[in-house]
Every structure is written in structure tokens, then in C-alpha cells.
């Protein structure tokens, strides 16, 4: 089995690559990653010498490169594509939405078209059937495409897509492209939508690692608005196992929600981390709320649990303590992956002011 993983140097991607190489040691993993500010080779130093692992530096919008890989010319025939590469930070999408459309929408279409073009068996003719394809495609998405919830209720796979940020709108668009390739061409596409991930190797722009690293440096942690926004938290290791199942057992054309059954307000998360690191309430700084800030996300993951037999192994209590310990034990990793952040942020601001 030879799999193309896009965005494998990122947070979820690197954990997935590590999971696949460990769980399926005979598989060959090709990692296509653009090495942006959120994708670092430091995330996979423990597997970079594995003969079953290959890194290709490039962008998913590069159709020439993508076609070279998916056609089999570069490494041999591809059996599957698990697509994670994406611009994913909501605040950055508010600053410059165009980057998100280019990567998340155009890039996804390039990958889907390559899988369609090169994944058909010789002699297959329209109208195509699922059995005409040799490449299975998993589109890894987010619960943010569903919009926001009130105090009660859960997102199901039937919840309408009502994204509220440029980021979530770009992800919804890529999901719909995947659906269209399944409906139009019968291409074996599976879509997964996860709740908020946490765990090792997450870039310190995200809430949990940002708060941990700020407090370790003696800095305050910025809480949006009243801090009562609710998220369901999923350990990245559990997410990786769910994606693995979705690829191997997921039914083409289906959507599978992946959640951790761990709803917490941002303030609960904040106070837990502050207490765990021995700090006081003075470490909390309230800041103006994010534009279009969704109030609550909560996932109903019963479909993947019943149909594919998946269940999260981590409790939030176990996972958050392990995560805090990991960031405390890896200051050099934090330093390495944040080294270029200031310059990157300045670049984004300049581009936004220039109307790019």
C-alpha cells in the first residue's frame, strides 16, 4: 500500500504519518508538504530515516507536481490520498482570506482531479463506477463547516453547512468539491469532520499550546470575550486512528464526524492550564472577541463509532496533562517552530494592507 498524505509536516498530519508507519509498517508513506510556518520537519525527525517514508516539499496547488506523484511516475502507483494540507488558523483567515481560498479550495480541486485522472482503471468508461478506481480519497475536514450551536444539540453528519469564517467557508468548499467528485464521477471519496484537536506537535498559535507556552515564559494568556465559547476537544492520537479507519473501512460518499466527547469552555481550559502550571488569575488577560466567533461546537460521533467501531481512548484529563508535560519537555521544539512567526505575521499584515 502506497499512500499520499498531504500536509504531513503539520500538527495532525505528522501525528497521522507516525500512526500509519507504526500501525502499518509495510505501507509506504509519501508526505507532500509546503513547509509553511505550521509545517516543520522537526515534527517528524523520529521517522525521517524510515525507508518507508518519503518527503516531497511542494504545494498542493502545483498541478504538475501533484500529477507527477499521483500518476505514479515519481514513486510508483498510489493506492490512496489522505488530504490534510490546509491553511487552518481562523485569525489568519480573517486577516487574509485569499490564501485560504487558494490552498484549501484550489489545492483540493487539483488533488481531486489528479485522483480522478490517474485513479481510473484502464478501459474504464463513463458513467464510472466506484470499482473503476484504484485510488481512494479521504478529505479531512472540520466541524467548523457546520457553523455554531446554541446551548444544546450536537452536529451530526446531516447538519447543514453554515460556515462563519473565511477559514471554515474554504473548508466547506473543499468538502463540497469532494462530494461533487463522488456524485458526478463515482470517485471513492470519504469526508471526515473533527472537533478541536490538541496534543503534541501543535503549533503554538492555537489555544492550548499558546497558553502553555505563554505561561512557561511568564506571559499572560489572551482570552477572547467572556471565555464562554464551548469546544469539544479531541486528542490528536485518537483523531489519527479515526482517519486510519475512515480510509480503510469508510464507505465512499459518506461523511464521518469525529469527536472526543469532551466539551469545555475556553475559560475552563484556561483555568486548568493556569492551575496546572502554578500560576494565578493575574495571568489571564481578556481581549476583544474574534470577529464572527462561533459560540459552541459539539460533535455527535455515533456514526463512526457504530459503523466503523471507533472510540476515543483519551479522556480529556489524561490528554491535557500529557500535553502540558510534552510542551514543558520540548522547549527546543517550540523555539524552532516559532522562530519565523514574527516575520510571517508581518508578511501577512503587509499583504492585507496591499489588498493581496
Q: Which is catalytic among the residues 144, 175, 205, 238?
A: 144
Q: Is 224 contained in some domain?
A: no
Q: Is 59 contained in some domain?
A: yes
Confirm whether pTM is higher than 0.95.
no
Q: Which is catalytic among the residues 33, 143, 205, 232?
A: 143
Catalytic site includes residue 143: yes
Q: Can you give the residue range of the structural domain that contains 303?
A: 2-202+233-261+298-314
Catalytic site includes residue 144: yes
Q: Is 252 contained in some domain?
A: yes
Q: Is 278 contained in some domain?
A: no
Q: Is 99 contained in some domain?
A: yes
Per-residue pLDDT of the chain (356 residues; tens, 9 = 90+): 999 999 999 999 999 999 999 999 999 999 999 998 778 999 999 999 999 999 999 999 999 999 999 999 999 999 999 999 998 777 788 888 999 999 999 999 999 999 999 999 999 999 999 999 999 999 999 999 999 998 899 999 999 999 999 999 999 999 999 999 999 999 999 999 999 999 999 999 889 999 999 999 999 999 988 888 899 999 999 999 999 999 999 999 999 999 998 999 999 999 999 999 999 999 999 888 778 788 888 999 999 999 999 999 999 999 999 999 999 999 999 999 988 654 343 333 333 333 33
What is the 3-class SS of the chain, one letter each residue? CEEEEECCCCHHHHHHHHHHHHHCCCCEEEEEECCCCCCCHHHHCCCCCCCCEEEEECCCCCHHHHHHHHCCCCCCCCCEEEECCCCCCHHHHHHCHHHHHHHHHHHHHHHHHHHHHHHECCCCCCCCCHHHECCEEEEEEEHHHHCCCCCCCCECCCCCCCCCCHHHHHHHHHHHHHHHHHHHHCCCEEEEEECEEECCCCCCCCHHHHHHHHHHCCCCEEEECCCCCEEEEEEHHHHHHHHHHHHHHCCCCCEEEECCCCEEEHHHHHHHHHHHCCCCHHHEEEECCCCCCCCECCECCHHHHHHHCCCCCCCHHHHHHHHHHHHHHCHHHHHHHHCCHHHHHHHHHHHHHCCC
Give the total number of structural domains in the chain: 1
Q: Is 208 contained in some domain?
A: no
Q: Which is catalytic among the residues 53, 133, 167, 181?
A: 167
Q: Is 346 contained in some domain?
A: no
Catalytic site includes residue 244: no
Q: What is the CATH number of the domain that holds 33?
A: 3.40.50.720
Amino acid at each position: 500500500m502506497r499512500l499520499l498524505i498531504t500536509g504531513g509536516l503539520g500538527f495532525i498530519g505528522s501525528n497521522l504519518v507516525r500512526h500509519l508507519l507504526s500501525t502499518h509498517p509495510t505501507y509506504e508513506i509519501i508526505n507532500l508538504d509546503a513547509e509553511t510556518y505550521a509545517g516543520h520537519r522537526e515534527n517528524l525527525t523520529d521517522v525521517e530515516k524510515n525507508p518507508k517514508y518519503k518527503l516531497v516539499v511542494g504545494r498542493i496547488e502545483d498541478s504538475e507536481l501533484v500529477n507527477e506523484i499521483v500518476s505514479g511516475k515519481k514513486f510508483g502507483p498510489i493506492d490512496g490520498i489522505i488530504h490534510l494540507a490546509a491553511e487552518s488558523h481562523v485569525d489568519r483567515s480573517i486577516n487574509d482570506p485569499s490564501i485560504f481560498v487558494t490552498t484549501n479550495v484550489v489545492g483540493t480541486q487539483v488533488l481531486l482531479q489528479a485522483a480522478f485522472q490517474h485513479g481510473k482503471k484502464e478501459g474504464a468508461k463513463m458513467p464510472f463506477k466506484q470499482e473503476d478506481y484504484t485510488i481512494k480519497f479521504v478529505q479531512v475536514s472540520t466541524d467548523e463547516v457546520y457553523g455554531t450551536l446554541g446551548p444544546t444539540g450536537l452536529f451530526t453528519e446531516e447538519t447543514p453547512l453554515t460556515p462563519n469564517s473565511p477559514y471554515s467557508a474554504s473548508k466547506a468548499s473543499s468538502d463540497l468539491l469532494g462530494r461533487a467528485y463522488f456524485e458526478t464521477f463515482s470517485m471513492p471519496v470519504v469526508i471526515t469532520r473533527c472537533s478541536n484537536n490538541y496534543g503534541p506537535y501543535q503549533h503554538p498559535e492555537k489555544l492550548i499550546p499558546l497558553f502553555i507556552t505563554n505561561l512557561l515564559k511568564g506571559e499572560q494568556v489572551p482570552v477572547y470575550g467572556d471565555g464562554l465559547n464551548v469546544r469539544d476537544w479531541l486528542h490528536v492520537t485518537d483523531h489519527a486512528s479515526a482517519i486510519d479507519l475512515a480510509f480503510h473501512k469508510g464507505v465512499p460518499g459518506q461523511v464521518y464526524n469525529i469527536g472526543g466527547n469532551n466539551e469545555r469552555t475556553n475559560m475552563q481550559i484556561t483555568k486548568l492550564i493556569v492551575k496546572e502550571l502554578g500560576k494565578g488569575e493575574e495571568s489571564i488577560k481578556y481581549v476583544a472577541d474574534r470577529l464572527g466567533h462561533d459560540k459552541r461546537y459539539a460533535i455527535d460521533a455515533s456514526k463512526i463509532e457504530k459503523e466503523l467501531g471507533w472510540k476515543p481512548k483519551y479522556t480529556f484529563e489524561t490528554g491535557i496533562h500529557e500535553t502540558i508535560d510534552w510542551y514543558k519537555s520540548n522547549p527546543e521544539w517550540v523555539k524552532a517552530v516559532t522562530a519565523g512567526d514574527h516575520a510571517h505575521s508581518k508578511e501577512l499584515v503587509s499583504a492585507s494592507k496591499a489588498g493581496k
